Structure 1
Amino acid sequence: MTTATKPLSALLQRTTVTDHEEVLQACNASLRVSRNDLETQYIKFLALLKLDRYDDALRVLEESGDRLKERAGVERAYALYRIGELEKAKDAARGIMDGRGARHVEAQASYRSEDFTNAAVLYKELARSQAAAEGEESDLRINSGATDAQLEWTRQGDLVSKKKPGREDLEAFETAYNAACGSIAKGELGQGEMLLKRAKDLCNALDEFTDKEKAAELLPISVQQLYVFSKLGKTKEAERLASEISLQEIPDVSTRQIAQNNKLAATPRTSNPYLSHRLFHSTETLPKTDNLFKLQAERMQQNGLALDLLVSKSNGVIKATNNLLSHSLPTTSSHVNNISVINAAAHAQSQLAKLGLKQIQPLLEKRPKDIGLTMTIIQLYVLTNNHGSAVTVLESLMKRLSESGTPADQDVVFAPGLVALQVSLYTQQARRSQIKTVLAKAASYWRHRSKPPTSLLRASGLSLLNSSDPEHQAIARDIFDTLHTQDSASKFATAGRVAAHALTSPEKVAADADMLTPVPRLIAGIDVAALEEAGIPSLPSATTTTRKRALDEKPKPAKKRVRNSKLPKDHDPSKTPDPERWLPLRDRSTYRPKGRKGRQKAAEKTQGGVSNEKTAEGKTTGTDGVIKAPEKGGGQGKGKRKKGKK
């Protein structure tokens, strides 16, 4: 064994660090002599890792036995991570109790497997301890920023401790890019656009990067910037940027797919949908090591179905979406509900208003707990200004879910989005008591949960605080107590707690009241005497205003739609039609008779002229006053036919 390793050690002393192929050849030659040499096997394994031959490296470990696996535990976990075996990589890294390298591999595998909570915890632990390698602190900041952005995208923003980017995030283009992604995920598109521009400027200013390396780093930033421009409605900027992005220069297949999707979304709506459909489906299959995240894959699936609708593949869309909806209802998943909306659009042939309602209402009998379908029907009723039917449909859904004994159905009933929709529809009808009842039930349901929705509790507490019902006031006190316990620094929770207990137990909130801004400071600069002299106008309620308006306004006759077949050929819609068009020609004000007799008759009808009138004897007077005798022939006109012989 000693003689076999001497040539290898001498060779390694003469080779460079990057000459991994030559090291591999030397290891193979040495292993032909001594197959069980653990040191040589380990060096061969590392050489294969350096050459990115991860499958071959893992094969060496499997053939070498458990001793080499124990020695190369971190490297084995890393190799599993690089071939896409994420769960095995996490298990292998967890088995190594000590070592920063194992924690890094576990965090990376957790990030790629979308276990962002575990990844965030690991990066925080690594950041708290002292960095072991040069540049590790910078890598930790970059990876932590990416994890925080993913938590925001997956609606777990409450786990993110850093809500605003700091100065250190604006010093490198990677951290600025991650901060931009976090802002975009929170809906702060303006700040995201600014941070993306900052990331581009920082990347272009790097001296250690070649132009080719800069272009490779700028491409993902441009793809994200294209998404922001499209969301902000900046169509010209989006079209210009889309024309500058070259898909062939993007090495990652997943990034290339997203870039193709964003370019198609930025194209004008007048473009050919069949061409867009072909380009969307022309990208290659994603490898196992470069899959899209779940949120990205869901958006791509929805966009693909929308393009199928544009090219009239409604039957295919119905079949594909039915398979997804068959075992996932009811749910608050935005993806499933969006798929339900696409399914309804396919059944309605993308028609709106009454025509669309007629096609999709029968589906509600088959899927009575379908949230997406119900929301579509409600939206169509709102578009036709039929809020009463919209409320009826929503209340029917809530009744069906409330009567169900499944706990998941109860979570759907009191989902913040559905509660907000109920409040919005009741507000349209000025049904204030129903609003307070809905908010009280939702708050009572959520405030005993481990992670209640804070926004719902805040809205419920504020509404119930103004209620005259003692039960509602008690719920408001409990809500603000809960909010104050969760965040004692929140001025909203403190002020609400003081207001809720002010009448019943003011001594309980005396300390909290002292922490609020004093009233004299709030009203400084306000002339109270002038306000009292001016008086306080009282606004009528929405119900009174609606009734008064209905009494005062006269009903407008409905406009009749004239068919095109009934209109004349020379009809010009821009010109006002003649109001006398329904009168006979001779009765119109613009009528001018032709010929001598016609003008004579018109003169006789002129006001002040002498008309042809019959005398008492049956004779006619002309315009000159002379009585004219009747014509000869016994009154028989020239044109009359003579009687035949009897």
Structure 2
Amino acid sequence: MTELDVTLSNSFADLKRFENNGEYEKALRTTNKILELSKDSQKAIHCKVVSLIQLNKFEEALNFLDKLDDEIKSKLNFEKAYCEYRLNKVDEALKTIKNSDSDDFGVKELEIQALYRVEEHEKCYSNYIDLIKNSSDDYEDERYANLTAVLSGLLAEKANFKSDLLDLNENTYEIIYNKACVLLSTGEYHAAIKKLNQAESSCRKFLEDDGASEEEIESELAIIKAQLAFCQQKLGKTELALKLYNNILRQKLADPALISVVSNNILVLHKDQNVFDSKKKIKSAMNETAELKLSKNQKLNIWYNYGLFLINTNQLDVYRKHLDVFKVKFPNNINDSLMVECFHYLKEKNEGQSIKVLNDYLLSKKKLDSSDLELTLLLSQLYIKGQKYKEAIRSLEKLGDNKYFPAIVSTLVLLYEKVDDLKAKEELFLEAINWHEKQKDNLSVLCNLYRELAKFYLNRSEPKSAAKFLEKIIQKTGKNANVTSMLINAYSQFDNAKAQSLKNELPSIEEILASVDIEHLENKNWSLGVKYVKKSKDTPKATEKKKKKKNRKKILPKNYNPNEQPDPERWLPKYERSNYRKKKDKKGVGKGTQGAMGEGVEIKPSPKQVVTSPTGPRQQRPTQKAKKKKGGRK
């Protein structure tokens, strides 16, 4: 055994010891010594890369890997991809993993994490399901926690996505928290609050058992409390949400992404009020270090809100620069940049320019899709405001299948009535009914359309057409007294026999009266309205007969004489009584000549007292203004 072999053997033994003790600085120095002696040692190269990763020197590790031969480098694709992932070069990490032939679980999990970062939730979800099925180790709970996080993102994109993951065992607070996020994605805020409270108590208990300090516990709970505040914000409890958000920021957390999101939400709550605080919050929200951890949607919302803030605070030069950067940064979100631009023109009361901007964009598209819905609705609203009803109709008619949504159908119906186009109104109803019948998703909307079209036909004296659609309601929902009464009205105009048979199906007046509690109705103060009716609890005392109060004994004056007639004017004021005599006027007493003085007395005028000016500096005081008389009612 040569001296070189002995040295290498001892160095590898030291390397093993340093690895077991977690002394990676020493391990790195040892690998460098080994590579000086044997530069092609694959084991030493691998150990050096691992040591650099453990020391968070990812850039240095990547530079070292790039200098290696392709043959050696290909065996370290996982390490290279991990370094790229940690340096936020996620797309490059995915390419590296794709070029790797390894079927190792670590490579698959890294790929899933990278897919989650680039928000390919559907692919990420299917990969996780496959990984969990084929794994049997101690990391199952962690994988399920990550899987519920993926599901939350997936439901935010596809609300109708179905999964049975909500039935998972809640072994960790991470799983409970992610389940709450799933409920948030579907808009179930009350259920999400319950789940978040459960996650908070579970997290606190776990960390207390683990010996964590109160500061560490609060730091871990911050993200749960932020979601609780968001729920309260969505439920309209703005004061409570604002209080929770501010409590989170007072903790001075180290997570820039959480600080950015919370600051943005506070800005939204402030709207155009509390500008000074909003300036500080938007500065925190626009933190560059936070962007690396934020999702695309979060970044978009923060930049969008910053644009609105600049317009509200009249920082128009900064806004124009921001809008140019916004368009470059989010090239696939043209609609959002147009909404901000239109808001700017509307703020300046330049509605014509807003209409021009919207028209230029919408006319440039051959076919409008669901992403253009907001812009089209804004354009039609501006037309309606300017009483340009035909232009509003044309803009809404271009929405394709989106125009069959109930609210848009209702708007179009009103517009058709404004321009007196009853034929177009009828065609819209028929098209909407046809579309909803094919969709088979919302029976109540379909029945409402049947009813409204039936009313339309009845008003136009077309009872046969009205009866046809009223019959469809009964077929789908069963017999209903209101619909049956409308149907009787329709049949009575062309088929009296049918109308009579339907009339017999309605309950008689005696049956209706039997089901009504007349005493209850009479006791109800319904005519006064809810505001004036006092609610009182039913107690046994309320049904008891009231006891008669004893009349108080009359107290008569001491000198009262029952034989004499009392003075009928005794209740009048004295000056109104017939025996009243006004006293003599004494206002002039003491005025006029009251006699003369003696001649010997000489009266000398006394000098006027001199008012000395105050010594020292005088403070200038504001002159006191004369108080204005308050004008009261006469």
**Helix, strand or coil: the match of 2:39?**
coil
Equivalent positions of 1:253-264 (< 5 A) are 253-264=256-267
Equivalent positions of 1:506-517 (< 5 A) are none
> CA 1:327–1:88 in structure 2 vs 1: closer, same or farther (change >3 Å)?
closer
Match in the other structure for 1:340 = 338
1:443 Cα deviation from its structure 2 partner = 6.2
Equivalent positions of 1:484-563 (< 5 A) are 529=507, 534=512
AA at the equivalent of 2:150: T
Match in the other structure for 1:67 = 71
Using the alignment, how far apart are the partners of 1:434 and 1:326 within structure 2?
Answer: 43
Match in the other structure for 1:124 = 129
Match in the other structure for 1:25 = 29
Using the alignment, how far apart are the partners of 2:357 and 2:211 within structure 1?
Answer: 58
- Give a deviation string over 1:496-526, Cα, whole Å, max 9, x none: 7999xxxxxxxxxxxxxxxxxxxxxxxxxxx
Match in the other structure for 2:460 = none
1:124 Cα deviation from its structure 2 partner = 0.8
> CA 1:91–1:361 in structure 2 vs 1: closer, same or farther (change >3 Å)?
closer
Say whether the 8 Å CA contact 2:260–2:290 is kept in structure 1.
no
**Helix, strand or coil: the match of 2:123?**
helix
Match in the other structure for 1:393 = 391
Say whether the 8 Å CA contact 1:30–1:40 is kept in structure 2.
yes
Is the aligned partner of 1:168 residue 2:161? no
Say whether the 8 Å CA contact 2:268–2:305 is kept in structure 1.
no
Say whether the 8 Å CA contact 1:31–1:37 is kept in structure 2.
yes
> CA 1:248–1:30 in structure 2 vs 1: closer, same or farther (change >3 Å)?
farther
AA at the equivalent of 2:220: E
> CA 1:200–1:63 in structure 2 vs 1: closer, same or farther (change >3 Å)?
same
Using the alignment, how far apart are the partners of 1:340 and 1:284 within structure 2?
Answer: 21
Match in the other structure for 1:101 = 106
Using the alignment, how far apart are the partners of 1:4 and 1:458 within structure 2?
Answer: 83
1:231 Cα deviation from its structure 2 partner = 2.0
Indicate which of 420, 423, 427 corresponds to 2:409. Answer: 423
**Helix, strand or coil: the match of 1:292?**
coil
Indicate which of 398, 411, 414 corresponds to 2:401. Answer: 414
> CA 1:46–1:379 in structure 2 vs 1: closer, same or farther (change >3 Å)?
same
Say whether the 8 Å CA contact 1:242–1:266 is kept in structure 2.
no
**Helix, strand or coil: the match of 2:169?**
helix
1:26 Cα deviation from its structure 2 partner = 0.9
Task: Flag the structure with larger Rg.
Answer: 2
Using the alignment, how far apart are the partners of 1:438 and 1:322 within structure 2?
Answer: 42
Indicate which of 47, 51, 61 corresponds to 1:47. Answer: 51
> CA 1:264–1:423 in structure 2 vs 1: closer, same or farther (change >3 Å)?
same
Using the alignment, how far apart are the partners of 1:80 and 1:188 within structure 2?
Answer: 37
Using the alignment, how far apart are the partners of 1:397 and 1:571 within structure 2?
Answer: 57
> CA 1:250–1:214 in structure 2 vs 1: closer, same or farther (change >3 Å)?
same
1:260 Cα deviation from its structure 2 partner = 1.8
1:235 Cα deviation from its structure 2 partner = 2.6
**Helix, strand or coil: the match of 1:225?**
helix
Using the alignment, how far apart are the partners of 2:150 and 2:86 within structure 1?
Answer: 19
Say whether the 8 Å CA contact 1:254–1:291 is kept in structure 2.
yes
Match in the other structure for 1:300 = 302
Using the alignment, how far apart are the partners of 1:318 and 1:420 within structure 2?
Answer: 38
Unaligned runs of at least 5 residues, structure 2: 364-371, 458-464, 470-474, 480-504, 514-627
Using the alignment, how far apart are the partners of 2:313 and 2:189 within structure 1?
Answer: 31
1:14 Cα deviation from its structure 2 partner = 3.4
Equivalent pairs, count: 458
Using the alignment, how far apart are the partners of 2:440 and 2:73 within structure 1?
Answer: 48
Match in the other structure for 1:200 = 200
Using the alignment, how far apart are the partners of 2:22 and 2:453 within structure 1?
Answer: 75
1:319 Cα deviation from its structure 2 partner = 6.6
> CA 1:6–1:350 in structure 2 vs 1: closer, same or farther (change >3 Å)?
same
Match in the other structure for 2:314 = 312
Equivalent positions of 1:275-294 (< 5 A) are 275-282=277-284, 285-287=287-289, 290-294=292-296
Say whether the 8 Å CA contact 2:115–2:124 is kept in structure 1.
yes
Using the alignment, how far apart are the partners of 2:329 and 2:33 within structure 1?
Answer: 58
1:278 Cα deviation from its structure 2 partner = 4.5
> CA 1:571–1:362 in structure 2 vs 1: closer, same or farther (change >3 Å)?
farther
Using the alignment, how far apart are the partners of 1:268 and 1:98 within structure 2?
Answer: 52
Say whether the 8 Å CA contact 2:272–2:309 is kept in structure 1.
no
Match in the other structure for 1:234 = 237
Using the alignment, how far apart are the partners of 2:286 and 2:303 within structure 1?
Answer: 15
Say whether the 8 Å CA contact 2:426–2:453 is kept in structure 1.
no
Using the alignment, how far apart are the partners of 1:146 and 1:366 within structure 2?
Answer: 40
Using the alignment, how far apart are the partners of 1:36 and 1:303 within structure 2?
Answer: 55
1:530 Cα deviation from its structure 2 partner = 5.1
Is the aligned partner of 1:222 residue 2:225? yes
**Helix, strand or coil: the match of 1:251?**
coil
Say whether the 8 Å CA contact 2:383–2:389 is kept in structure 1.
no
**Helix, strand or coil: the match of 1:249?**
coil
1:122 Cα deviation from its structure 2 partner = 0.5
> CA 1:284–1:312 in structure 2 vs 1: closer, same or farther (change >3 Å)?
closer
> CA 1:296–1:324 in structure 2 vs 1: closer, same or farther (change >3 Å)?
closer
- Give a deviation string over 1:609-645, Cα, whole Å, max 9, x none: xxxxxxxxxxxxxxxxxxxxxxxxxxxxxxxxxxxxx
Match in the other structure for 1:624 = none
Match in the other structure for 2:189 = 189
**Helix, strand or coil: the match of 2:103?**
coil
Unaligned runs of at least 5 residues, structure 1: 402-411, 448-452, 477-494, 500-526, 536-568, 579-646
Using the alignment, how far apart are the partners of 1:276 and 1:210 within structure 2?
Answer: 34
Using the alignment, how far apart are the partners of 1:392 and 1:116 within structure 2?
Answer: 43
- Give a deviation string over 1:384-432, Cα, whole Å, max 9, x none: 6x8xx47533422256x5xxxxxxxxxx53236x744431214546776
1:253 Cα deviation from its structure 2 partner = 2.3
AA at the equivalent of 1:196: L
AA at the equivalent of 2:378: T
> CA 1:375–1:497 in structure 2 vs 1: closer, same or farther (change >3 Å)?
same
TM-score, normalised relative to structure 1: 0.61
Q: Identity across aligned pairs (percent)?
A: 19
| CA RMSD across the alignment | 4.3
AA at the equivalent of 1:202: S
AA at the equivalent of 1:166: D
> CA 1:187–1:288 in structure 2 vs 1: closer, same or farther (change >3 Å)?
closer
Say whether the 8 Å CA contact 1:337–1:373 is kept in structure 2.
yes
